[in-house]
Each structure stands twice: as C-alpha cells, then as structure tokens.
Amino acid sequence: MPLSIVEEEDGRIAVASPYHPNFPLRARSLGGVWDAARRVWIFDAGDQDRVRSLCREIYGTDGKETGMAGMAPFPQARGRRGSPKRRPLYRTITAIVVGCASG
C-alpha cells in the first residue's frame, strides 16, 4: 500500500500507510486517531507539516514525490526473471542456539 495523505472535507487530514511498528505511538503523540473502519489515521489539518515530517522519517516519503511515492528508500530486489521480487519491509529473525552441555 503506498502512503497517501488526503485533506478531508471537514478540514482534517487522513493518512493511509503500510504498517510500521513505530508509527502508531508517534501518530498518537501528534494527536492522531486511528479510524479502524476506513483503516486510516486522522489528524488535525494544522498538524499537516508535522505529519508529513513524521511520514518522511518513518517511511522515507510523505507521498508528494512523483514516481517513488510510498516506496521504501532502498533498492528493490529482483526475482529470477528480472521482475521485482516481493519481500516484507520488516522481518523477524529467530535463532536457535544449540550448545553442548558439559557435565
């Protein structure tokens, strides 16, 4: 899902963005409210500059750039056939350490 910031009719702004673990806490600190039905964050229009700054910090874009709007700021991996390879933005790495018990 590309990032988008839309000014609503009531003067508030709505931010639709992919999930990032740091975004909800930071969005709430700016007065943002999660609208679960629409799956967007709602902010006061007066905070638009701060919201755009937060989006640039978290996602690397504020949705204004052309061509790369909403894309992560790192090169895209290529699959075997040269097409873009899909990969998650965040990965969980689980390691199991196997050792020998001396005794």
CATH number at residue 48: 2.20.20
Domain count within the chain: 1
Structural domain includes residue 25: yes
| pLDDT tens by residue, the chain, 103 residues | 788 899 888 889 999 999 999 999 999 999 999 999 999 999 999 999 999 999 999 999 988 764 443 333 333 344 555 555 454 444 445 555 556 555 5
Q: By residue range, what is the domain housing residue 36?
A: 4-59
Q: How many residues make up the chain in this entry?
A: 103
Structural domain includes residue 84: no
pTM of the model: 0.61
Structural domain includes residue 77: no
